[in-house]
Amino acid sequence: MSTATIRTSLRRTPRGATASRPRSVALTTLFMAICAFYFLLPMWWLIVASSRTTGQLATNHSLIPSSIGQLFSNVADVLTYDGGIFVRWLLNSIGYAVIGAAGATVIAAMAGYGLAKYVFPGREAVFNTILAGVLVPVTALAMPLFLMFSQAHAVNTYWSVLIPSLVSPFGVYLSRIYASAAVPGSLLEAARLDGSGEVRTFFTMSARLMSPALVTIFLFSFVGIWNNFFLPLVMLQNQKLYPITLGLFSWNTQISRAPFLQTYVIVGSLLSAIPLLIAFLLLQRFWQSGLAEGAVKE
Amino acid sequence: MSTAIPSIATARPERATGTVTAARRQVVQHKKALAIFLGPFLLVFVLFYLAPILFAVLQSFMKVSRAGAFGAPVQVFGGLTQYSAVVHSSVFWTSIEHVVIFFFVSVPIQLIMALLLALLLDSSLVKGKRFFRLAYFAPYAVPTIIAALIWGYLYQPQVSPFQTLTSSPTFGPLTANMIYFSMANIVFWTYVGYNMVIIYSALKAIPGDLFEAAKMDGASQLRIAWSVKIPLVVPALIMSTMFSIIGTLQLFNEPTVLATLTPAVTATWSPNMIVLATTNIPNYNLAAAISVMLALVSCAVSFTFLRLTQKRAFA
Amino acid sequence: MSRRHNTKSWLAAGATLVVLPLSACAGVKAADPAGSGSTCPSAPPGTTVNLSMTSWTPGAQQNVDYFNTHVGDTMNPRIHVTLNVVPGGNSGTYQAYSNQIIAGNTGDIGMVEYPILPSYRLQQGLTNIASCPGVAGARSDFSPASISASEIGDPNALFGIPQDAGPLGLYYRKDLFAKYHIPVPATWQQFAADAPKVKAAGGYIAGFQYGQPEWFEGLVWQAGGRWFTSTDKGWIVNLTDAASLKVADYWTNLVRNGDVGQEDTFSPADWSDLGSGKLWTLIAPPWMSVLLATNSPASARDWAVARLPQWTSGQTATGMWGGSDYAVWSTCKYPAQAAQFLLWLETSTNALTVNNTIGGQFPAYMPAVTTVPAMAQPLTVPGATTGKPVKYFGDQVIWDPFTHLHASPAWQAGPTQSQTDADFSTALAAFISGSGTIADALRSTQAKTIAAIQAQGLAVVQEGSH
């Protein structure tokens, strides 16, 4: 493993002649467009279905939106139903994901850094144990965690979902790889000579060098926690604590009793995709370069 | 602190900073920093990762005994009772069969498509790359359980825009013979973009001079893709496959949603659904045994896969 | 959120996690509440007790509101009740109860249908209120079957106060039986003899309700069957006793001869068949009355209710399908006040009238027949098209036949009744699709039930052998 030349810069080498094969370009672009249509269709359908009333859903099956006014009315209904529980779910999900991912990133980054830059007996054993953790299905942990939290009278609380989310073995793995590649030992030596403490060096210098990996770990954890369904399903009964995944699912189970919930589930699904879509748009640059580091293991 | 430190010898070459005593002194020097760096993670890892695993394993060797007709449950040592029950459970093996079939139906096409799209995006053949990249990655913004709900609606004739297909008694997505494809479609839709981005990033990280060399040798775009690009993204492909294996064995969200829509998917279709159903009886010991078996199978398959591809994964 | 979750607490939990199974090996037991001479904790006089309650009975909120404004303050200690309306038991509430029992936050009172009560006793989730003031005196006023269900196998205990009962009766199309001069069956022999005649007239005398295990269990109950018996040493499981086999063979013959229809209860097709005259009778409890009246408006005034056909002429036996109870949870701090509230709820004319008129409930409290005026009235429902009240059963007071039927208190639900019901339902589906007999379904269900009971750590001391 070389500590030299990190492939952080995206390849910008111009490719071959771009305009010499217009037919191939047209065909390929058409193919890509069809694929894009497939990937975007369900979200388009969400918009279309959200512009209808529950009754119209059963009769109108076209892919053209019906009424913008109805769309806004539906959104308003969803946001205010049951005391605004949907907004609460959205905030819960954001809370779990932001706090959980931030916490997970910090401790995983520190752990990976510690494993990468410092030598101590049993280091590889510790690392291998953590790595083995990546292979363990998270669902196997849910029941024992539930019993454990019951003992501490902490089940059905925010902590019961937040704390298990802080453990990111994959984050430690990524962080270790990146730390050993991006933070040269010489830099650390220089900092030591300058009198900077180890922890201070990490927070002021090394972390900055590791930032693409940190963003990757954060995004990876964020999406994982955002997606989380099984753990909250097991831990939570109070619907005020539900993340959006569990909330919409619980609405879906009640449709036979309350048919209007079908519309709410659809509108809610549309609304729930927005935060992450915005996050992706804003953080495009980071996740691309970060993922590159994770993929090309040096 | 032990006197023999064999781990130093096997560490990566640039870490071999000298003698044993120098290393020991180094550890002593930064002990406090190490504690701060490793402490938090190790604490939560041990408490909330290792301890539950250990607890599940212990529980799987126990069984419940009660006095009279309504006695309180007492955990007693059960030996292999639970594991025997799992091994003899046809429901369990059927669920394993389901996820294995699902793997082969779903994962190869997912990776092939991700690779193809990544290669196309990386080529000169496509205009508007940014748009396509975002469009393909967008499904990843939708939590998988919600993606299953959405596709569930698209599959139901009552609300779906695809009336002919969903109403068909033979090709309807909710019929028994199409259910694997319907489920695979949901997973495909959610993950192809994500896998594509990983592979694409790996492609972008290939140094340009390799292509210069190939072009000078007169290689066509297709040839370059086949002989240069694909081999160099194999590590990324392997990582994606690994996660797909682990993910498929843990399949829960998609069958849970589809179970509410069609009798083709029962409440015990996938191993994790069985774990939840068993927990709800409640029978924690049996659920623990099933989880442990599932974890072991998961680890074994991942490990074997990594072993087989080790040279290429860690090139 | 309390500040209990400090580091020590986590480490303690982690340590407990490892120690727990080990200490269990030493045989540490928790007490079964009914065993000891139970006490009934009461709040000090002059205080106010807040009770939390879950229910899905239509009209429950009305009753609770009335209690809080008019009755609760007249008691000493004062009682205030908070109602949590939840979905029906099988729509997630029973699962929620189980989770709450583990987490220790069940509240005070919960609505539970009779067959599911034993499983909560098994989960150590209930409080024995037998020794609470007022309970001993009120026991004999509730129907023997409902009290037996609330005793959960221990005649000296009581784990809840019965709310409604579900004795099976015979809803029948009086117009069709009259038109074709076919006698309304009073015995099962007559029922079987009438069946081909009804078929010749273009209908079915009844539908075999294959998706409702409790319907069939009610019929076995009527015949004197008893699937579960709890003893000091464990359970006796017998799904193949003489009565069960008799009922099984009877209906197997009817179904296989095509003399009865196959009814998918509560489905739109079913309501349509009941409205159109395809099905001439409906074997069901009192609570079916409102559902029938609401979902089959086409046949208004054509239906009447008679006693369930008997195996021996002149008897008045029946079995129950459904009926519910308010259980007192083990987390209830003041069972005395909970019992006091529940006794009011289930005996007061006011409350029982609301339950009956809004929810069509048939009270388990026997004196209600005379004390609750609604019980002497014909049933009216809003007309489907006009909205004006319609006397669906004409002038007949349909509660009468039910009042004269008696379900034996000997029947007991099993400790894993929902699992038994699910297995039996699956087995009946196989029967309906053409394979085997109902007796075969009983045998396979028995085997699965025994396995499920043993998986709970309970001993099965005796099992049916037919």
Is B66 at the interface with chain C, CB within 8 A?
A: yes
Q: Mean pLDDT over residues B67-89, rounded?
A: 91
Pick from A168, A200, A174: nearest CA to A116: A174
Chains touching C (3+ CB pairs < 8 Å) = A, B
Mean pLDDT for A3-32 is 60
Name every chain C residue with its beta carbon within 8 A of the beta carbon of A154: 4-5, 9
Q: Where are the alpha helices (DSSP H) in chain A?
A: 22-50, 54-59, 68-117, 123-135, 138-151, 158-165, 169-182, 185-193, 198-201, 207-209, 211-227, 230-235, 244-253, 261-282, 284-295
Higher pLDDT, residue B104 or A182: B104
Residue C112 lies in a domain: yes
Q: Is residue C9 part of a domain?
A: no
What would the DSSP string read from start to end of chain B? Answer: --S--HHHHHS-GGG--S-HHHHHHHHHHTHHHHHHHHHHHHHHHIIIIIHHHHHHHHHHTEEEE-STTTPPPEEEE-TTHHHHHHHT-HHHHHHHHHHHHHHHHHHHHHHHHHHHHHHHHHSTT-S-HHHHHHHHHGGGGS-HHHHHHHHHHHH-TTT-S-HHHHH-TTT-TTSTTTHHHHHHHHHHHHHHHHHHHHHHHHHHTS-HHHHHHHHHTT--HHHHIIIIIHHHHHHHHHHHHHHHHHHHHT--HHHHHHHTT-TTS-TTSSHHHHHHHHHTTT-HHHHHHHHHHHHHHHHHHHHHHHHHTHHHHT-
Residue A124: Cβ-neighbour burial (10 angstroms; 0-12, 13-18, 19+): middle
* Same domain membership, residue C366 and residue C254: no
Chains with 3 or more CB pairs under 8 A to chain B: A, C
- C334 in the same domain as C311: no
Cα A284 to chain center, whole Å? Answer: 13
Report strand pairing: C207-208 vs C261-262. Answer: parallel
Please choose, from the candidates B55, B243, B48, C16, the residue with its C-alpha nearest in 3D space to the C-alpha of residue A100: B48
User: Is C137 within a domain?
Assistant: yes
In chain C, the number of structural domains is 2
Which residue from B276, A235, B55, B283 is spatially nearest to C122, judged by alpha carbons?
Answer: B283
pLDDT along chain C (466 residues), means of 10: 42 46 37 55 94 92 95 93 87 83 88 96 95 95 97 94 96 96 96 96 95 96 96 95 97 95 88 93 93 88 96 96 96 96 95 86 93 89 79 93 95 94 92 93 95 90 86
Q: What is the mean pLDDT of chain A?
A: 84
Q: Is the peptide bond before A164 cis (omega within 30 degrees of 0)?
A: no
B283:C455 CB<8 A: yes
What is the spatial distance between Cα B7 and Cα B153, in angstroms, rounded to a whole number?
A: 55
Indicate whether C35 belongs to any domain: no
Report residue C196 as tokens: 């081909």
> Which ranges of C58-207 would DSSP assign to H, the alpha helix?
60-66, 93-103, 117-122, 135-138, 144-151, 174-179, 188-200
Burial of C14 (0-12, 13-18, 19+ CB in 10 A): buried
Q: What burial letters (b/e) apply to C205-227, b meaning 16+ CB within 10 Å? A: bbbbbbbbbbbbbbbbbbbbbbb
Helix axes B31-45, A123-135, angle to 10 degrees: 20
Please tell me whether residues C52 and C83 are part of one structural domain. yes
User: What is the C-alpha to C-alpha distance for residues B119 and B212, in angstroms, rounded to an integer?
Assistant: 17
Q: Please check the confidence at residue B294 and state whether its pLDDT lies above 50.
A: yes
pLDDT of the residue at C89 = 83
CA distance, residue A162 to nearest chain B CA (Å):
11
Domains and CATH numbers, chain B: 84-313 (1.10.3720.10)
DSSP C35: T
Nearest-Cα residue of chain C relative to residue B69: C234
| Helices A169-182, A211-227: inter-axial angle, 10-degree rounding | 170
Cα–Cα distance between B121 and C120 in angstroms, integer?
Answer: 59
Please indicate, yes or no, whether residues C161 and C135 belong to a single structural domain of this protein: yes
Statement to judge: residues C128 and C258 lie in one domain: no
Hey, what amino acid is at B80? L
Cβ pair A229, A155 in contact under 8 A: no
Distance (Å) of CA A295 to CA A105, B118, B187, B195, C304: 18, 14, 21, 11, 75
Q: Using CB atoms, which residue from B135, B149, B211 is nearest to A265?
A: B149
Q: Is A47 exposed, middle or buried (0-12, 13-18, 19+ CB in 10 A)?
A: middle
Q: B70 and C233: CB-CB below 8 Å?
A: no
Subunits close to A (at least 3 CB pairs below 8 A): B, C
Cα–Cα distance measured from residue A227 to residue C315, given in angstroms and rounded to the nearest whole number: 61
Which of C334, C351, C375 is the last residue in one of the domains?
C375
Q: Is residue C91 part of a domain?
A: yes
Answer whether C21 sits within 8 Å of B75, measured CB to CB: yes
Q: Which of A250, A265, A276 is nearest to A78 (CA)?
A: A265
Min distance B177 CA to chain A CA atoms (Å): 23
The tokens for A188 are: 């650390």
C114 and C251 both lie in a single domain? no
- Please state the φ and ψ torsions of residue A102, each to the nearest 5 degrees: -60, -50
CA distance B97 to chain A (A): 18
DSSP H or E stretch at residue C354: helix C349-359
Instruction: Mark whether C291 and C420 lie in a shared domain.
Output: yes
Given a contact cutoff of 8 angstroms between Cβ atoms, the answer to whether C336 and C40 are in contact is yes
Domain coverage including residue C431: 167-320+382-463
Domain C-terminal end among C330, C345, C375: C375
Q: Is C199 found in the same domain as C257?
A: yes
CB contact under 8 A, B69 and C153: yes
Is the interface score ipTM higher than 0.95? no
Chain centre to alpha carbon of residue A106: 16
Can you list the positions of beta strands (E) in C121-246?
A: 160-167, 169-173, 207-208, 228-230, 235-237
DSSP codes of every residue in C275-310:
HHTSB-EEEE-TTHHHHHHHH-GGGTTTEEEEPPPB
Residue A207, both tokens: 């972390």
Q: Do residues C463 and C236 make contact, with C-beta atoms less than 8 angstroms apart?
A: yes
Q: Which amino acid, A255?
A: I
Report pLDDT for B82. 93
Q: Phi and psi of C336, rounded to 5°?
A: -60, -45
Looking at the DSSP bridge assignments, the partners of residue C52 are C82
* C413 in the same domain as C326: no
Measure in Å the smallest separation between the Cα of C9 and chain A Cα atoms.
Answer: 6
Q: What secondary structure does DSSP assign to A82-141, as a single string?
A: HHHHHHHHHHHHHHHHHHHHHHHHHHHHHHHHHHHH---TTHHHHHHHHHHHHHS-HHHH
The CATH number of the domain holding residue C142 is 3.40.190.10
In sequence order, which residues have a C-beta less than 8 Å from that of residue A140 and are 6 or more positions away? B53, B56, B275, B291, B292, B294, B295
C151 and C274 part of one domain: no
Question: Is the separation of the CB atoms in A188 and A91 below 8 Å?
Answer: no
Question: Is-contact C413 C113, C-beta < 8 A?
Answer: no
Residue A119 has its nearest CB partner, among B26, B236, B252, at B26
DSSP class of residue C398 equals: T
What pLDDT sits at residue C333?
95
Task: Give the minimum alpha-carbon distance from A83 to chain B in angstroms, rounded to a whole number.
Answer: 22
Chain B residues lying within 8 Å of C416, measured CB to CB = 281
**How far apart, in whole angstroms, are the C-alpha atoms of residue B271 and residue B252?**
8
**Cα separations in angstroms, A115 against A174, B280, C342:** 11, 41, 63
Residue-level pLDDT at C336? 96
Last residue of a domain, one of C343, C375, C407: C375
In a domain, C32, yes or no: no
Nearest CA in chain A to B303: A135
- C388 and C457, same structural domain? yes
- pLDDT over 80 at B120, yes or no: yes
B interface mutation test: which of A167, A204, A221, A253 has the most B CBs within 10 A?
Answer: A167
Compute chain A's Rg from CA coordinates.
24
Nearest Cα to B242, choosing from B180, B290, B158, B306?
A: B306
Phi, psi of C109 (to 5 degrees): -130, 140
Contacts of A216 (CB under 8 A, 6+ apart): A174, A286, A287, A290, A291, A293, A294
- Chain C neighbors of A237, CB-CB under 8 A: 96, 99-100, 103
Domains of chain A in sequence order: 68-295 (1.10.3720.10)
C241 and C113 share a domain? no
CB within 8 Å: C4 and A153: yes
At residue B126, the pLDDT reads 73
